[in-house]
Amino acid sequence: MVLATIVAFAVTVVCLIPPGVHFVTGPIGPAIGGYVAGNRFRLAGAEIAVVGLLMGSAIGGSSIVAFEYSNFMPDLALQASIPLSVIAALYVGVLGSVGAWIAPARTV
């Protein structure tokens, strides 16, 4: 499942790269990444939730670290880091889970 999360997160980041198109693919990138991971690894049940949780934790943790080491307005960065990180983690986690959920499920 860690490999599925890495793939989902990599696809999410790749969705931000193409100029012009990133205005569309960027905001829905976590759903696209979750779909790719869900389809590639045939995730089902609790695996979907774990991938979404790990994706949200990765973006939340990395944004807290980015805010903590920011030299731009350090007082504001410290105050804004927790709420913005929680919002980003929820956004990425939910969209990643939804993307993995709509991918074809594993057949028994």
- State pTM to two decimals: 0.85
**How far apart, in Å, are the Cα atoms of 17 and each of 52, 81, 107?**
22, 24, 34
> Is position 108 within any domain?
no
pLDDT digits (tens, 9 = 90+) for 28-60: 999 999 999 999 999 888 999 999 999 999 999
> Is position 17 within any domain?
yes
Confidence check: pLDDT of 68 > 80: no
CA distance 23 to 29: 10
pLDDT digits (tens, 9 = 90+) for 71-105: 766 777 677 788 888 999 999 999 999 999 999 86
Domain total for the chain? 1
> Is position 107 within any domain?
no
pLDDT for residue 10: 95
> Is position 69 within any domain?
yes
Range of the domain at 75: 2-102
